[in-house]
A and B are shown apart, each in its own frame.
Chain A
Amino acid sequence: MKEKIKGLSRGNQFLNKELANRKTGVFLTAAVSVVAIILSLPFFSWISIVNIPALFSKLSITREMAENLFQGYSLFNLLSFVQESKQGSLGLYAMILLILMAAALYFNVAYALKIAFNLKGNKGNLGLYATGQTAMLFEMIATAATAGFVIFANYKFGMTGMQASPVVYILFLLSLLSFAAIKLLEAEERALYKEHGLFREIQKNWVLFLMLVPTFIYFMINNYLPMLGVYYAFTSFNFRDGLWASPFIGFKNFDFLVKADLFRLTKNTILYNVVFIGLGNALQIVFAIFVSQVTVKWFKKASQTLMFMPYFVSFVILKVLVYNIFEYQYGLINNIITSAGGGKIDFYNTPSYWPVLITLFYLWKNIGYGMVVYLATIMGIDSEYYEAAKVDGANIFQQIWYITLPLVKPTFIILLLYALGSIMKGQFELFYQMIGNNGTLYNVTDIFDTYVYRITMTQPLSIGLGTAAGLYQSVFGFAIVILTNFLVKRKNPEYALF
């Protein structure tokens, strides 16, 4: 606590030049943040269970189950109540509360730290205020939602079985007040830097906002609302209780993945993807440059069209073709080898060939398709650059090296960042159709997606498992993208995704 006080007093120095009431304002709201952080600690219960005997008999909680239950819950262990008392219908709400709580905590800590260590952005205290506001906003939502949760739970129980502790209400009021305080402070600060808030932004750029409305609706329907389904990863689905009330089982679904050969799967998936992304993009760029440099029109068109064609060969057909090429007895390649007097190659029982073969077929299928993006980028390059280079005496290789490639770079980085996000996801169809059930090849060809498909296919109730696997892939990809994006942004913010 002492350190915190010291930090606060040091942080105060930067306020010296400001008006006295603003100092107090920031200080007070910081105090609220600290209070919020303390009250968020797990040993403060936000929700208490009342009427225990009646409630337990209503929920048919046995004595055995009650052993693991508490009288009071914080938002952190609320899910344990859901799990131990088998109240799956509260699970999703409790999980949302946990996420809100975590967000509130994160921003409160950030706010307190920013004040304590006097971290300033390039626009004065505006960044600080934004953090503060977000923190207070999340605190308000979390507390209000907690009160809502109690009402919801009691409704589900059909009786009063839960009660929100006064902490919740007090915290709500405090955060509301400090939210307003920060808002006032921010208004003054904004005037200083000629910045404006959301409302003003909408007023100013309403056309832009209007342009985003369809996009907003689309992503809400297609992506954000269904995202609630991530919750299934933590449940054990059954039809009796339905999707939202199936028992909450914590991380049990993930155990499954850990028990599988997670390391091998992850390694295979990432290695294949790295090769696909690297070689794929390199060849696409090379061929796009080739095509762009061709002067004979019919050749240009024909080669481009022909290279595009493999994209249309569905994997089902590809599988048949591949089998007939690599089969032992009468396959095309073995026919050629034997007629040349060589010994037959047993492709389908020799794993070592397949990483190469799969890569080749991936490239074959994707070069023409992926090339289009680069071709369009190259076509968009202003021809004056090349004219100027020619005047300076640059040969064609120099032109490509110093003009084309640098200008293709932003596109490449975007595609790269995009591909990295799904680095744990694989070309499922490619692997599934080419390898199928041939277990001898699994060691080197099994990727995450094919494995998950195999284990979920045989079980009709594997919703939780499938979602858990997807979540693992997403989190993995997300971490990598955030990291890469951060690095890219530091080098050149123009290239960053966000």
Chain B
Amino acid sequence: MKIKKNTSTMIFNIITYVMLTFGAIVCVFPFIIIVSGSLTNNTTILTQGYSVLPRDITLSAYRTIFNAPKDILQAYKMTFYYTIVGTAIGLMMITLTGYVISRREFKYRNTVSFLIYFTSIFGGGMIPWYLMYANVLNMKGSTFAIWFPALMSPFLIILMRTFIVGSVPEAITESAKIDGAGHLTIFFKIVMPVLKPGLATVGLFLALGYWNDWYRSSMFSTSSKTWELQFYLYDLLNATTALKQMAQSTSISTAELPTQSVKLAMAVVATGPVILFYPFVQKFFVSGITVGAVKG
């Protein structure tokens, strides 16, 4: 019996390691190309194509991006600000909502869930949404218009509900209630502590959403002081194509436009911090395991 178990575990382990190694290589390969491309001389990329190792190493692409360090640092700062504020507030609101719609004693939990879910299917489109913030609330140009619209999403709320239902058995909250605990106590003292993987997941998705966003800056920013990092970079890319088309219809002096290697360097600049940050979040996914399945 014991031997059988061991062989099966061994087979499984071999599959696991082989598959994961394979997956990781496939996933990281293009990234290596990007990094090495960002370090390669632009003409070399154009004439000889991409390679795994950088040739004709130069930092000129990064120099171009950091040419105006003030701007890019400001964009970094603002993105951190949006990410932190948005994730903190959003996570709180999502968890509260998830908690409420997971309560059985809450009579309208299905109605509320439906109303939340409904928004993910039906929408009035971009225009009324834009007018809501720009004209009705008159928030164009403010930082509010950039972090507020992404605070919650039906998907994350429902995901959170699933996590709460999964990790907090009804029996525990019932007994707490009998002991006289109110909803606030139950929420903060019982639900929150055991919800770590859920909080980490939803928080991660929220934060990534903020980090990767450029759309709201594009819509609502009136000055580059409030730009998100991704928009800063994305707009540089778009300027290339737009100015090229523009120059067709009127005389304009085109400034230095980003080259192939600059585009790649941008990808590195935008992604770097997240990849450095990710292992910290990972802790929450890893920690559970030692007590779990494969102890011996």
Contacts and interface: CB of A to CB of B under 8 A. Distances in A.
A463 B127 contact: yes
A287 B23 CA distance: 9
Interface in A287-312: 287, 290-295, 297, 299-312
A218 B123 contact: no
A474 B118 CA distance: 10
Interface residues of B, number: 105
B178 to A, nearest CB: 16
A375 B182 CA distance: 32
B50 A321 contact: yes
A414 B282 CA distance: 23
Given A232-B125, A313-B31, A376-B200, 19 more contacts: A205-B106, A208-B100, A211-B183, A225-B128, A229-B125, A293-B294, A303-B24, A308-B278, A309-B275, A313-B30, A376-B198, A379-B289, A380-B288, A399-B293, A410-B162, A421-B120, A470-B123, A497-B113, A498-B110
A374 to B, nearest CB: 10
Given A380-B163, A397-B8, A422-B120, A295 B264 contact: no
Q: Chain B: interface secondary structure?
A: helix
A127 to B, nearest CB: 14
Nearest to B111: A498
Given A211-B96, A497-B113, A498-B117, A478 B122 contact: yes
A376 B201 contact: yes
A207 B183 contact: yes
Contacts of B122: 227, 230, 474, 478
Interface in A469-498: 470, 474, 477-478, 481, 494, 497-498
A324 interface: yes
Contact of A294 (B17, B23, B279): B17
Interface stretch (A65-73, A254-262, A365-373): A365-373
Interface in A353-402: 364, 367-368, 372-373, 375-377, 379-381, 383, 386, 393, 395-397, 399
Contacts of B27: 306-310, 364, 367-368
B278 A226 contact: no
A381 B155 CA distance: 21
B125 to A, nearest CB: 5
Interface string B76-120: 000000000000000001001101100101111011111111011
Q: Chain A: interface secondary structure?
A: helix
A201 B112 CA distance: 14
B24 A380 contact: no
B292 A383 contact: yes
A368 B201 CA distance: 13
Interface string A311-342: 11110111011001000001010000000000
Interface string B131-162: 11000110000000000110110110111001
Contacts of A463: 125, 127
A204 to B, nearest CB: 8
B100 A211 contact: yes
Contacts of B34: 313, 317, 321
Contacts of B121: 421-422, 474, 477-478, 481
Contacts of A225: 128, 132, 136
Contacts of A300: 286, 289
A368 B278 CA distance: 12
Interface string A199-231: 001000101100110110011011111111110
B49 A324 contact: yes
Contact of A211 (B26, B97, B136): B97
Instruction: Sort A-B residue pairs by CB-CB distance and give the 3 closest, nearest first.
Output: A229-B124, A229-B128, A498-B114
B50 A380 contact: no
A466 interface: yes
A17 to B, nearest CB: 27
Given A211-B183, A321-B30, A414-B159, A372 B204 contact: yes
A215 B107 contact: no
A377 B162 CA distance: 9
Contacts of A230: 122, 124-125
B66 interface: no
Contact of B162 (A205, A379, A397, A414): A414
30 contacts: A201-B108, A214-B93, A215-B96, A218-B148, A221-B148, A225-B132, A227-B123, A229-B128, A230-B125, A243-B131, A292-B293, A297-B286, A300-B286, A305-B279, A313-B34, A320-B263, A321-B50, A324-B50, A367-B27, A368-B27, A372-B205, A377-B163, A379-B197, A383-B292, A393-B5, A395-B4, A411-B159, A422-B121, A467-B127, A498-B113
A207 to B, nearest CB: 4
A134 to B, nearest CB: 12
Interface string B188-219: 00000000011011001100100010000000
A193 interface: no
B132 A226 contact: yes
B176 interface: no
B166 interface: yes
Contact of A375 (B30, B93, B129, B285): B285
B271 A312 contact: yes
Contacts of B154: 418
B270 interface: yes
A497 B158 contact: yes
Contacts of A303: 20-21, 23-24
A217 to B, nearest CB: 10
Contact of B285 (A212, A222, A304, A368): A304
Contact of A290 (B20, B26, B157, B201): B20
B20 A314 contact: no
